[in-house]
Structure 1
Amino acid sequence: MNQPSTHSSSVIPNWVDASLLTGMLRGIERESLRMQSNGFLSQKNHPKALGSALTHPHITTDYSEALMEFITTPHNTIAAALNELRDIHTVVHQHLEAGEKLWPLSMPCMLDDDEENIKLAQYGTSNIGRFKTLYRHGLGVRYGRRMQTISGVHYNLSFPEELFAELKQHESNPELKQLSLQDYRSHRYFGLIRNFIRLTPLVMYLLGASPSVCRCFLTNRQHHLQPLVKGTLYLPEATALRMGRLGYQNSAQKQLGIHYNDLHDYLDGLQKAVHTPYPPFTDLGLNDQNGEPIQINDHVLQIENEYYSLVRPKQVPEAGETPSQALKNRGVGYVELRAVDVNPYSEIGIDEITAGFLESLALYCLLQDSPDLFDEEQEQVDRNQTEVVNRGRAADAKIEEGHTTTSLQAWAQKHLDAIKDCAVLLDQMSATSLYQDALHIMQQRLDHVDATLSSHVIEDTLKHGGTWNFGSMMAEQHVNRYDQHQLSQERAEYFEQLAQTSLQKQSQLEQDNDTSFEQYLAQYR
């Protein structure tokens, strides 16, 4: 990707001003487990008063019935997105039953020895509802249900069309200049994605908050962790175990060779994975001994969403479209940054400091030169991620770049320095100091390892005598925050109406079933 001239060493072209960023949109998805008052994973159904998890736009479930997912609409300010997320948490808290609370950490606690007690999310009797539950059953069969109890935060971000139009106008590569604006926008978003992948170790160090896990998470699993305190395992210098081999990993996907160099190649790779049988999954069988389906198919991916990635290109699907078809038809509309741990110190799992840093980083990734990313460099990036996941807080933590090895400290400092200009521009756009304040906090975390979230989590886990005690204490603090958050009459009525409407929509889908689930599944297979 050729870049036009910039201010000295800045990635920001000298013709870019803050007005080109007006119109940026961000939305947040936050996952959280419901836990019983005794600390164990909830066995109750999704609260009916919250509406249908199948059709509600803001309050749904992820893998298990107890794993809630909260989704904001896109907003033009960080404050508005966080405020909507706070409203959603407050509404959910008001409808939790029997002393249940939201677990505040990315890694779960107090899981039974029996994985079957992690109850799959239920979406009713419509074909699409049963299909969603079967997909989750397939994930459990393939990877185990424990892995699916991990929570994260996904940060969705789009830049204004005007910015892409100006970037294209100043593009020095004649081939790229010939692209339609839609294709050029996709090209630039893919550049952002490649750079974000390269810089994920920075995200893990600065935002990682899962340096330890409850022992129950590792039942019947090989691991390399050490005891921290009774019932809790950790690595002394870890940052984000959620992002390592104990987290979302898929050996089948490692062999896919899906690259982020071009939208069409990416979609081809994804489609190949959705249509290619994988012998270990074939060996599991499609149905159980009673003829009941146990996975959608025996392919590398049952559906596209099974592809675990640190960042995803996204486009809002229209009726009947798959995510891939939406991307193919209208190009990349936004990116989903997925490498973010839940911040246990925030009652909504994320704060404006994290949001401001992620947006500054994303702008830097968009404007920075972004060569194609192939297997050899990807393997190096994977090694860097493993180093930071397991040893990010070690004084001698290293990062590989090309043929050189440098200290994590020096590498991170180089990028933080370069991101500062982006933070300045974003502050000009929003007439705040939020973005530079966020960078200042990140600088403190780089300068003082004790200031990192992962360091705080270890310190507080020790202080409170284990993961369960620490998490319970934070969950109780968060309850007080939800109780203090004033939901306007209008917002309360809005969520009440949504709950009723979503239940009606689910009921309609169930009445509209015109084929049996067996036929529906056979057509998909």
Structure 2
Amino acid sequence: MSLPESKSQSILPTWVDSALFKGMLRGIERESLRMQSNGFLSQADHPKSLGSALTHPHITTDYSEALMEFITPPKETIPEALSYLADIHAYVHRHLENDEKLWPLSMPCMLDDKEENIRLAQYGRSNIGQFKTLYRRGLGVRYGRRMQTISGVHYNVSFPDQVFEALQQHETDEALKALSLQDYRSHRYFGLIRNFIRLTPLVMFLVGASPSVCKCFMTGREHQLLPLVKGTLFLPYATALRMGRFGYQNSAQKQLGIHYNNLCGYLDGLQKAVHTPYTPFSRLGLNDENGQPIQINDHVLQIENEYYSLVRPKQVPKDGETPSEALAKRGVGYVELRAVDVNPYSPIGINENTAAFLEVLALYCLFTESPDLLEHEQEIIEKNQNEVVNRGRAPNATIQGLHEAQPIEAWALQHVTAMQPLADLLDQTYATDIYRQAMKVMLERIDEVDETLSAQVIQDTLRQNGTWSFGSVMAHQHASSYEQHVLSAETLAYFDGLTDSSLQEQQTLENDSDIGFDEYLARFR
């Protein structure tokens, strides 16, 4: 039975005890562009007062020099994770220069006509630093730099081993009972991943917040978007254009055949992609006319991170390990939920309701039956995703199951209602009510589509007369909240220390190189 179909019975086994989930961890990665006071993308270097983007554990950059990424460590509760993220934002705000602000939307602030003015992130003179910049140059050559200015939120979740031990004890399949705990844990996480893919349209519908874009983002691209107000394009019922064909897409990856039915198959698919040349990328060449490298290689993926996916199985790599090697050796340690738009109304891009909803959803995906995801169902899921991205708030929007279509509200209501016992379970675990409150908010959005974030963004973009005006108003509001956020002397000293130690670590890497970058790259290739 596939997840898009109706579910009636409770999926929560009677033996499950809330104490099992003590030890759950969550971490958040939030991206945000630095915006100049005139509304355009920053052209300035990453502030040195924030340390080295190469080696700082919590404050770094993603694709461009202006695309900041804030990373919390794993935390035991949602309030702790959000509080840590708020500390990072407040600290960063104090170190932004020239009246720059953090742009609050997933889709970018104003970009000029020249793609080369989207500066690649710079990581210094070390071989690994130059390699990271070259990877980004390759992304720009392959997909265009504009695509890489989109921001998102990645939500990382792990369940404690006692959950998997209890699940395995209650298995009736002897083969599953015979697995090592590591292999069984990976097996269950892959079940979660398949179900999350099936339910991604629910995430887009309930927390999608990118229904419109600044016209500058579409420069030189064919599209069917409509004018909303001057300088802003949209689709009338869109929810998350970031997740559609104008967002993170890679046509080469469509034919990879990477599947999530088991860890071995996933890793084999990734390795094949990293080692298989792709003719359109070969035609781009490896070097420019001056002999300078423009991409790491001409393969379907330059490195594993280039694989754009809705959700990733993850394991913390040790020194020198690739993500795949870490997974192969130690199995899945946590999942990264990546289909989450930045919430423009939250100063930190995500609030308690979204975080709690994602955790309940992850638990629902873990406990719900999860058959292999085969090509036929994958095609249906992709159609559902496109439907919700482009017209999820339409009165006649539908979700296609394996056997029948349903109105999106009926489909969403079934799943969110079925999640309620899991929300109650997590509230018991943490002696809180944030999970139940989050589900209440999601039910309100299903009941009244104008309560969704995407509908609110459209209303406020109209009220403020454009994407830039709306984003600018929110950026200034958020800046005020960062200024009012109290950072303790201990927290300030901690982040100041990370600034110094990260710069020292980068310097050490630069001094330690015993071969030049050309040789380093040649060895990698």
* Fold equivalence (TM over 0.5): yes
TM-score, with normalisation over the residues of structure 2?
0.98
1:285 match: 285
SS at match of 1:60: strand
Give the Å deviation of 1:403: 2.4
Contact 1:214–1:233 (CA<8 Å) still a contact in 2? yes
Give the Å deviation of 1:109: 2.0
Q: How does 1:459-470 map to 2 (within 5 A)?
A: 459-470=459-470
Contact 1:211–1:239 (CA<8 Å) still a contact in 2? yes
Answering whether residue 42 of structure 2 is matched by residue 36 of structure 1, we say no
Gaps of 5+ in 1: 2-7
1:336 match: 336
Answering whether residue 356 of structure 2 is matched by residue 349 of structure 1, we say no
Q: Take 2:133 and 2:380, find their aligned partners in 1: how far apart are those partners? A: 36
Q: Take 2:105 and 2:124, find their aligned partners in 1: how far apart are those partners? A: 29
Q: Take 1:410 and 1:463, find their aligned partners in 2: how far apart are those partners? A: 31
Q: How does 1:322-471 map to 2 (within 5 A)?
A: 322-471=322-471
Give the Å deviation of 1:406: 1.2
SS at match of 1:223: coil
Give the Å deviation of 1:473: 0.1
SS at match of 1:441: helix
SS at match of 1:422: helix
* Code of the aligned partner of 1:511: N
Give the Å deviation of 1:136: 0.1
1:311 match: 311
1:138 match: 138
Gaps of 5+ in 2: 2-7
Q: Take 1:139 and 1:210, find their aligned partners in 2: how far apart are those partners? A: 22
Q: Take 1:134 and 1:375, find their aligned partners in 2: how far apart are those partners? A: 34
Contact 1:257–1:375 (CA<8 Å) still a contact in 2? no
Answering whether residue 166 of structure 2 is matched by residue 176 of structure 1, we say no
When structure 1 is superposed on structure 2, of 504-513 and 373-382 the one drifting more is: 373-382
Give the Å deviation of 1:83: 0.3
Q: Take 1:434 and 1:172, find their aligned partners in 2: how far apart are those partners? A: 34
Give the Å deviation of 1:375: 1.4
1:98 match: 98
TM-score, with normalisation over the residues of structure 1?
0.98
Contact 1:29–1:69 (CA<8 Å) still a contact in 2? yes
Q: Take 1:449 and 1:508, find their aligned partners in 2: how far apart are those partners? A: 54
Provide, for residues 73-121 of structure 1, a one-character-per-residue CA deviation record: whole Å limited to 9, x for no partner.
0000000000000000001000000000000000002101000000000
1:507 match: 507
Contact 1:154–1:340 (CA<8 Å) still a contact in 2? yes
Contact 1:387–1:397 (CA<8 Å) still a contact in 2? yes
Answering whether residue 523 of structure 2 is matched by residue 490 of structure 1, we say no
Provide, for residues 151-181 of structure 1, a one-character-per-residue CA deviation record: whole Å limited to 9, x for no partner.
0000000000000011011111111111100
* Code of the aligned partner of 1:418: A
Percent identity (aligned) = 71
Provide, for residues 423-470 of structure 1, a one-character-per-residue CA deviation record: whole Å limited to 9, x for no partner.
010000000010000000000000001100000000000000000000
SS at match of 2:349: coil
Q: Take 1:372 and 1:173, find their aligned partners in 2: how far apart are those partners? A: 16
Give the Å deviation of 1:213: 0.2
Q: Take 2:111 and 2:297, find their aligned partners in 1: how far apart are those partners? A: 28
* Code of the aligned partner of 1:43: Q
SS at match of 2:339: strand
Give the Å deviation of 1:290: 1.1
- What's the Cα RMSD here? 0.9
Q: Take 1:444 and 1:107, find their aligned partners in 2: how far apart are those partners? A: 25
2:522 match: 522
2:296 match: 296
Provide, for residues 220-277 of structure 1, a one-character-per-residue CA deviation record: whole Å limited to 9, x for no partner.
0011100000000000000000000000000000000100000000000000000000
Q: Take 2:408 and 2:38, find their aligned partners in 1: how far apart are those partners? A: 41
1:4 match: none
Provide, for residues 191-218 of structure 1, a one-character-per-residue CA deviation record: whole Å limited to 9, x for no partner.
0000000000000000000000000000
Q: How does 1:199-218 map to 2 (within 5 A)?
A: 199-218=199-218
SS at match of 2:221: coil
Number of aligned residues: 520
Q: How does 1:35-54 map to 2 (within 5 A)?
A: 35-54=35-54
1:5 match: none
Q: Take 1:477 and 1:66, find their aligned partners in 2: how far apart are those partners? A: 20
2:56 match: 56
Q: How does 1:241-256 map to 2 (within 5 A)?
A: 241-256=241-256
Answering whether residue 18 of structure 2 is matched by residue 18 of structure 1, we say yes
Structure 1 segments of 4+ aligned residues over 4 angstroms from their partners: none
Q: Take 1:206 and 1:437, find their aligned partners in 2: how far apart are those partners? A: 14
Give the Å deviation of 1:409: 1.1
Q: Take 2:236 and 2:151, find their aligned partners in 1: how far apart are those partners? A: 22
* Code of the aligned partner of 1:207: V
1:222 match: 222
Give the Å deviation of 1:410: 1.0
SS at match of 2:313: strand
Give the Å deviation of 1:12: 1.1
Q: Take 2:290 and 2:438, find their aligned partners in 1: how far apart are those partners? A: 56
2:257 match: 257
Contact 1:103–1:475 (CA<8 Å) still a contact in 2? yes
SS at match of 2:33: strand
* Code of the aligned partner of 2:275: H
Q: Take 1:288 and 1:480, find their aligned partners in 2: how far apart are those partners? A: 45
Contact 1:105–1:151 (CA<8 Å) still a contact in 2? yes
Give the Å deviation of 1:11: 1.1
Contact 1:147–1:248 (CA<8 Å) still a contact in 2? yes
SS at match of 2:154: strand
2:112 match: 112
Give the Å deviation of 1:9: 1.6
2:195 match: 195
